[in-house]
Amino acid sequence: MVRHTVDPVKCRGCGKCVEMCGLELWTLVDTDNGKKRAQVIEEAKDMCHMCLACRDACPEEAIAITEE
What confidence score (pLDDT) does residue 10 get? Answer: 96
Band the pLDDT of 68: cuts 50, 70, 90: confident
Q: Which CATH number do you get for residue 43? A: 3.30.70.20
Per-residue CA distances from 6 to 30, 54, 62 (Å)? 14, 11, 5
The model carries a pTM of: 0.90
Domain range enclosing 11: 2-67
Count of structural domains, the chain: 1
Q: What is the mean pLDDT of residues 34-62?
A: 96
Query: Distance between CA 16 and CA 46 in Å, rounded?
Result: 21
Residue pLDDT, tens place only, 24-40: 999 999 999 899 999 99
